[in-house]
């Protein structure tokens, strides 16, 4: 481990036929983190580095009358203060969708005459130390004239609402697939439900906040930006354009990145500003976000409301769904996904794995005076799953149908894949029914119902939750094109190179930050090249070293980046075979790659080590055949149509009637992400995702006062759960290989977060069903549960 | 610069003298003055525990202690856990074998917290492990693998763990 090589025994390799895909090999990333030698942005030392702190708006909505930087400039250690006034050469970010229903609004890098959320950057202070920079930031004197803030969807939609932007408060309003039959179908339905589901604003809380270090190099006339990002190439493209320099003059590096969960998959104002400051300062400059900044000014998400009308036939089958989806997207759109990412995904994918033919949705993005939204893990799907599963649960209760049977009847039938939904979305084959049965069996539904009845008689509140979902992953170019994004982050690229010593380096456009890509992509390439994964070095996240790629978000990397790595290493293997065939005087199809050698099939003694082939390819080019150029490398890209993982989550909860606290007794996941490249990493993603989903179900909520003041600006107020709250997660694997990916793998980075909120909500609702208490909003707070329990008890007393 | 104090402290067995501004925290001293950047700052208000180090053997938030308070103290950080020849400690091995880290940012804090737990209580129960580890926040793992790793290290059997779902390949894994 100490030398950073993947540990695994040759015996183990032999036992699995030399195949590395599918094995839970230990991560090559671990050694650096276990020994403290990892390098996050704030760990990078540059001589003469100066520190940056931002003066940020303390108001939710205000006009700026004047900014006086002089008190800050007089502060000990402060070198310079930048405001909008001395950044006139920097244009605002204007994230766009190329569709008429979208309203583009400017996001200034530094506020000039107006602030629209607490935490909006107003001035940038450069100083000798972080402490001096913060001192200076506190002393930037800004005269604000307060404006009325809007901090809720309803307030923003009111006729006389204050406008967050002159353009209005609705930044996207899309009617999606209006089925003309729908109203008639709903009118004729045996049961119609009109329900509202909503979820609070939450935020990703990566353990490392955002951070940037930028340095201008006079010798090379180039700028280097080290930034805690998921998308280094797009940061380069965007920041270079803002600075007005060609991209080859900007190198962007994501060093070790302490979690992202989507918060770092958009380009931030701070990234451009720190680069601008580096050019002006003539020294390296560093900004490291503190936790308060991260909670107040970092990107947020998931604040949504679904008003849904759904019809059911007498057997419980859904006959039609009409949804009005509202997303509170905060003060600005973010680049590249815009504020459309939540409403458009919600409208496109609401129906999930259920066979609904008749559908209509309206989806809106509503601006408020809060920090901007970015695609946080799951993006709208936790809310969609909540809406669909609670509808099914409510209907099942009314119709007297068992929870599992209700889902059985509504899931896309086993033989109906690939399924094309009413909105044209194609869902590829999965194990939806098997996952449901597997999860339900593991939970022991019938035994639980008996236990629940007995517990109720004792005054104890037990509930069982069950949710099914489809997790779209590996979105390709066309998926983003359909959203009408002005940049379409779909394909990805890989370059694999064998050096003259026979060492192999795989350069990828994805940008892992905890997902273990240095390990899993090496596993993929190792099988293609008949090498040990420890012999393959994976390089990522450096725009000088890697081919252009879109980074790591939206459960794309193992499908898209893994596909590119698979193709590129296959192409290199092919070159090795051709070279060996020439040197061994055999046919290329008779050459077999095995354990770092190319051998003639059936005559293993006729073979050459890769290092011998590499020597010829680089150092003895006179021996090359005419159709091979010197060197040994191959590049490939991959651009899939997208593929769906699936899962059923189930849990058993108990509610303490005296405190309103919810305890999760068991949590079971039956999941299918196709071919698992590394099962240990798959399970890590599931468990981590479930923990974030449970957090959103029971603990986390960003609270804003009516004037736009955040009330949850520390981890004492924003309750990220600990090991005391998160239960063990039992995981059962199913495997339906994807026909749409090179390796058969499907993406699965978000499923845990998608399923868990609704799973807990349906369990709590099940525990309270006999009391008539509904759980339609997340998080489920103990004080609200207690109030509902007391109201129910009072009603019962009155009824007697 | 005003208000500078000269302190002496021992970090992972090496003694250092540092001139430190009164307002600088122990985390500042370790990271910026001594270059021990393995100690990470996740919240700077004592909740997340990423900066946990051992001060005279006790797990301590380095963000909540001033540098001057560490005068004459023995500090242990993540950089001191492996042996001098680079061999990982049983706890470090167990974290890797049980996939108890993803992004790695919180990992040094958890390692130091668990190191202190296992010194004080070499055979903790599952509840004791859970309670101790609930001092810190991890955003990636969902904690289960961290608890399993600590349990395995407590059993003196880091790579071979308790039965779990972490697959036979983890257990057969050994340096090539």
> Is 60 exceeded by the pLDDT of residue A9?
no
> Is 60 exceeded by the pLDDT of residue A1?
no
Q: State the pLDDT at residue A3.
A: 36
Residue to mutate among A9, A13, A19, A722, with most B CBs inside 10 A, is: A722
Rounded to the nearest angstrom, the minimum Cα separation between B129 and chain A is: 9
Say how many C-beta atoms besides its own lie within 10 A of residue A627's C-beta. Answer: 7
Query: At how many degrees (to 10) do helices A403-410 and A381-399 cross?
Result: 120
Separation in Å, CA A571 to CA A20, A469, A564, A664, B108: 18, 36, 11, 49, 40
Query: At how many degrees (to 10) do helices A517-529 and A562-584 cross?
Result: 30
Contact A231, A267 (CB under 8 A): yes
Sole residue written with tokens 């021996």: A623
- Flag whether residue A2 sits within 8 Å of chain B, measured between CB atoms: yes
**Each residue of A88-133: pLDDT tens digit?**
889 999 999 999 999 999 999 999 999 999 999 999 999 999 999 9
Residue of B nearest to A37 (CA): B38
User: How far is it, in rounded angstroms, from Cα B150 to Cα B132?
Assistant: 10
- Range 685-744 of A in CB contact (< 8 A) with B: 687-692, 714-716, 720, 722-726, 728-731
User: How far is it, in rounded angstroms, from Cα A637 to Cα A560?
Assistant: 8
DSSP A323: E
DSSP output for A584-638: HTS-GGGEEEETTEEEETTEEEEEEEHHHHHHHHHH-GGGS-TT--SS-EEEEEE
> Is 80 exceeded by the pLDDT of residue B176?
no
Rounded to the nearest angstrom, the minimum Cα separation between B62 and chain A is: 15
For residue A385, give the 3-state DSSP assignment: helix
Residue to mutate among A134, A207, A211, A753, with most B CBs inside 10 A, is: A207
Sole residue written with tokens 């800050």: A72
Rounded to the nearest angstrom, the minimum Cα separation between B92 and chain A is: 6
pLDDT band at B157 (very low <50, low <70, confident <90, very high): low
DSSP A484: T
For residue A320, give the 3-state DSSP assignment: strand
**Each residue of A651-689: pLDDT tens digit?**
999 999 999 999 999 999 999 999 999 999 999 999 999
pLDDT band at A576 (very low <50, low <70, confident <90, very high): very high
Mean per-residue pLDDT for A299-307? 98
Q: State the pLDDT at residue A2.
A: 33
Residue of A nearest to B23 (CA): A131
For residue A651, give the 3-state DSSP assignment: strand
Tokens representing A502? 């026979």
Contact yes or no for B37 and A43 at CB 8 A: yes
Q: State the pLDDT at residue A16.
A: 41
| Tally of residues, chain A | 800
> Is 80 exceeded by the pLDDT of residue A218?
yes
> Is 60 exceeded by the pLDDT of residue A8?
no
> Is 80 exceeded by the pLDDT of residue A12?
no
Rounded to the nearest angstrom, the minimum Cα separation between B8 and chain A is: 22
**Each residue of B75-100: pLDDT tens digit?**
999 999 999 999 999 999 999 999 99
User: How far is it, in rounded angstroms, from Cα A58 to Cα A24?
Assistant: 48
User: How far is it, in rounded angstroms, from Cα B15 to Cα A346?
Assistant: 58
Say how many C-beta atoms besides its own lie within 10 A of residue A221's C-beta. Answer: 9
On chain A, the residues whose CB falls within 8 A of the CB of B135 are: 722
Q: State the pLDDT at residue A381.
A: 98
User: How far is it, in rounded angstroms, from Cα A293 to Cα A369?
Assistant: 16
Q: State the pLDDT at residue B158.
A: 52
Does residue A324 have a cis bond before it (omega within 30 degrees)?
no
Backbone conformation region of residue A259, classed left if phi is above 0, alpha if psi is from -120 to 50, else beta: left
**Cα within 13 Å of Cα(B109), Cβ side:** 28
Q: Which of B71, B79, B82, B169 is nearest to A676 (CA)?
A: B169
On chain B, the residues whose CB falls within 8 A of the CB of A7 are: 173-176
- In this structure, the strands spanning A662-672 and A643-655 are antiparallel
Asked casually if ipTM beats, i.e. exceeds, 0.90, the reply is yes
pLDDT band at A69 (very low <50, low <70, confident <90, very high): very high
Say how many C-beta atoms besides its own lie within 10 A of residue A444's C-beta. Answer: 15
Tokens representing A563? 């596909």
Residues ≥6 apart with Cβ < 8 Å to A373:
A299, A300, A301, A303, A327, A328, A329, A330, A334, A339, A341, A342
Tokens representing A29? 């990333």
Mean per-residue pLDDT for B31-45? 97
Phi, psi at A797, each rounded to 5°:
-60, -45
Say how many C-beta atoms besides its own lie within 10 A of residue A166's C-beta. Answer: 7
pTM of the model: 0.96
% of chain A exceeding 70 in pLDDT:
98
Q: State the pLDDT at residue A613.
A: 98
Sole residue written with tokens 């340095």: A215
Contact yes or no for B139 and A30 at CB 8 A: no
User: How far is it, in rounded angstroms, from Cα A17 to Cα A526?
Assistant: 12
Sole residue written with tokens 């240095």: A518
- Flag whether residue B176 sits within 8 Å of chain A, measured between CB atoms: yes
On chain B, the residues whose CB falls within 8 A of the CB of A720 are: 48, 137, 139
Q: State the pLDDT at residue A419.
A: 97
Tokens representing A629? 């150029």
Query: At how many degrees (to 10) do helices A381-399 and A751-768 cross?
Result: 30
Angle at B54 between CA B51 and CA B55, to 5 degrees: 110
Contact A50, A127 (CB under 8 A): yes
Contact yes or no for B145 and A728 at CB 8 A: no
Q: Which of A188, A185, A191, A195 is nearest to A312 (CA)?
A: A191
Regarding predicted confidence, which is higher, B172 or A302? A302
pLDDT band at B26 (very low <50, low <70, confident <90, very high): very high
Q: State the pLDDT at residue A799.
A: 75
pLDDT band at A18 (very low <50, low <70, confident <90, very high): low
> Is 90 exceeded by the pLDDT of residue A592?
yes
pLDDT band at A798 (very low <50, low <70, confident <90, very high): confident
Phi, psi at A97, each rounded to 5°:
-115, 145
User: How far is it, in rounded angstroms, from Cα B104 to Cα B81?
Assistant: 16
- Range 65-124 of B in CB contact (< 8 A) with A: 77-79, 81-82, 86-88, 92-93, 95-97, 99, 101-108, 111
User: How far is it, in rounded angstroms, from Cα A748 to Cα B129?
Assistant: 29
Backbone conformation region of residue A177, classed left if phi is above 0, alpha if psi is from -120 to 50, else beta: left
Rounded to the nearest angstrom, the minimum Cα separation between B61 and chain A is: 15
Q: Can you point out the beta strands (E) in A72-189?
A: 78-83, 114-115, 121-127, 141-146, 170-176
């Amino acid at each position: 481990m100490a030398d950073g090589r993947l540990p695994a025994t040759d015996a183990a390799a032999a036992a699995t036929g030399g195949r590395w895909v599918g094995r839970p090999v230990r991560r090559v990333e671990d050694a650096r983190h276990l020994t403290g030698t990892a390098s996050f942005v704030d760990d990078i030392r540059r001589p003469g580095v100066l520190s940056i702190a931002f003066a940020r708006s303390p108001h939710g909505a205000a006009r700026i009358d004047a900014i006086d930087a002089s008190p800050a400039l007089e502060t000990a250690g402060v070198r310079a203060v930048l405001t909008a006034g001395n950044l006139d050469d920097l244009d605002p970010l204007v994230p766009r969708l190329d569709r008429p229903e979208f309203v583009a609004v400017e996001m200034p890098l530094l506020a000039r005459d107006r602030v629209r959320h607490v935490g909006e950057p107003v001035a940038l202070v450069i100083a000798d130390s972080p402490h001096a920079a913060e001192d200076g930031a506190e002393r930037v004197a800004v005269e604000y004239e307060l404006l009325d803030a809007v901090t809720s969807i309803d307030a923003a939609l009111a006729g006389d609402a204050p406008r967050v932007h002159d353009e209005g408060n609705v930044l996207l309003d899309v009617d999606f697939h209006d089925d003309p039959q729908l109203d008639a179908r709903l009118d004729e339905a045996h049961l119609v439900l009109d329900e509202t589901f909503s979820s609070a604003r939450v935020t990703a809380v990566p353990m490392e906040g955002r951070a940037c270090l930028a340095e201008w190099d006079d010798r090379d006339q180039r700028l280097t930006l080290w930034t805690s990002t998921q998308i280094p190439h797009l940061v380069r493209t965007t920041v270079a354009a803002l600075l007005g320099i060609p991209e080859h003059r900007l190198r962007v590096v994501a060093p070790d990145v302490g979690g992202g969960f989507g918060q770092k998959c958009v380009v931030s104002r701070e990234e451009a500003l720190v680069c601008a400051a580096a050019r002006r300062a003539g020294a390296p400059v560093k900004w490291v976000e503190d936790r308060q900044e991260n909670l107040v000014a970092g990107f947020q998400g998931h604040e949504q409301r679904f008003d849904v009308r759904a019809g059911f036939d007498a057997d419980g089958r859904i006959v039609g769904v009409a949804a009005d989806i509202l997303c509170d997207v905060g003060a600005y759109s973010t680049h590249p996904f815009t504020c459309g990412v939540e409403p458009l995904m919600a409208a496109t994918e609401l129906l999930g794995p259920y066979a609904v033919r008749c559908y209509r949705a309206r989806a809106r993005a509503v601006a408020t005076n809060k920090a901007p939204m970015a695609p946080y893990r799951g993006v709208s799907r936790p809310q969609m799953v909540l809406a669909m599963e609670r509808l099914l649960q409510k209907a099942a209760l009314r119709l007297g149908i068992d929870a599992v049977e209700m889902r059985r009847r509504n899931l896309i039938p086993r033989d109906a894949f690939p399924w094309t939904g009413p909105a044209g979305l194609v869902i590829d084959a999965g194990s939806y029914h098997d996952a449901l049965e597997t999860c339900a069996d593991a939970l022991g539904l019938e035994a639980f119902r008996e236990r629940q009845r007995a517990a109720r008689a004792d005054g104890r509140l037990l509930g069982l939750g069950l949710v099914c979902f489809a997790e779209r992953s590996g979105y390709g170019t066309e998926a983003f094109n359909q959203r009408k994004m002005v940049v379409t982050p779909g394909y990805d690229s890989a370059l694999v190179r064998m050096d003259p010593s026979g060492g192999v380096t795989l350069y990828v456009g994805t940008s892992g930050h905890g997902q273990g890509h240095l390990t899993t992509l090496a596993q993929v390439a190792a099988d293609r090249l008949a090498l040990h994964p420890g012999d393959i070095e994976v390089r990522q996240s450096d725009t000088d070293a890697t081919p252009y790629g879109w980074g790591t978000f939206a459960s794309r990397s193992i499908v898209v980046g893994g596909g590119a790595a698979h193709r590129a290493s296959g192409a290199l293997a092919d070159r090795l075979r051709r070279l060996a065939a020439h040197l061994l005087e055999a046919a290329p199809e008779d050459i077999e790659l095995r354990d770092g050698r190319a051998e003639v099939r059936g005559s293993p003694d006729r073979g050459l080590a890769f290092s011998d082939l590499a020597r010829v390819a680089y150092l003895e080019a006179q021996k090359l055949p005419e159709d091979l150029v010197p060197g040994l490398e191959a590049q490939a890209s991959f651009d899939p149509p997208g593929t769906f993982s699936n899962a059923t989550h189930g849990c058993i909860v108990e509610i303490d009637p005296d405190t309103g606290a919810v305890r999760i007794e068991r949590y079971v996941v039956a999941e299918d992400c196709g071919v698992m490249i590394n099962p240990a990493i798959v399970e890590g993603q599931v468990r981590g995702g479930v923990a974030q989903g449970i957090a959103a179900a029971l603990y986390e909520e960003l609270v804003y006062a009516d004037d736009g003041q955040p009330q949850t600006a520390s981890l004492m107020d924003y309750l990220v759960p600990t090991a005391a709250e998160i239960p063990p997660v039992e995981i059962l694997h199913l495997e339906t290989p994807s026909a749409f990916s090179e390796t058969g793998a499907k993406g699965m980075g978000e499923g845990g977060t998608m399923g868990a909120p609704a799973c807990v909500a349906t369990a709590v609702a099940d525990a309270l069903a006999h009391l008539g208490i509904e759980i339609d909003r997340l998080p489920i707070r103990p004080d609200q549960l207690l109030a509902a329990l007391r109201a129910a008890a009072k009603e019962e007393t009155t009824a007697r | 610069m005003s208000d500078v104090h000269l302190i002496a402290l021992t970090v992972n067995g090496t003694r250092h003298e540092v001139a430190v501004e009164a307002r600088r925290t122990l985390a500042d001293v370790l990271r910026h003055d001594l270059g021990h950047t393995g100690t990470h700052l996740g919240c700077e208000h004592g909740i997340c525990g990423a900066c946990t180090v051992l001060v005279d053997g006790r797990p301590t938030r380095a963000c909540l202690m001033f540098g001057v308070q560490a005068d004459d103290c023995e500090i242990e950080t993540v950089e001191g856990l492996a042996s001098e020849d680079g061999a990982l400690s049983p706890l470090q091995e167990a974290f890797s074998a049980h996939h108890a880290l993803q992004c790695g940012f919180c990992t040094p804090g958890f390692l130091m917290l668990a190191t202190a737990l296992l010194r004080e209580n070499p055979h903790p129960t599952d509840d004791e492990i859970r309670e101790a580890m609930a001092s810190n926040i991890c955003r990636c793992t969902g904690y289960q693998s961290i608890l399993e790793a600590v349990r395995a290290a407590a059993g003196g059997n880091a790579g071979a763990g308790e039965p779990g779902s972490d697959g036979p390949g983890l257990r057969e894994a050994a340096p090539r």
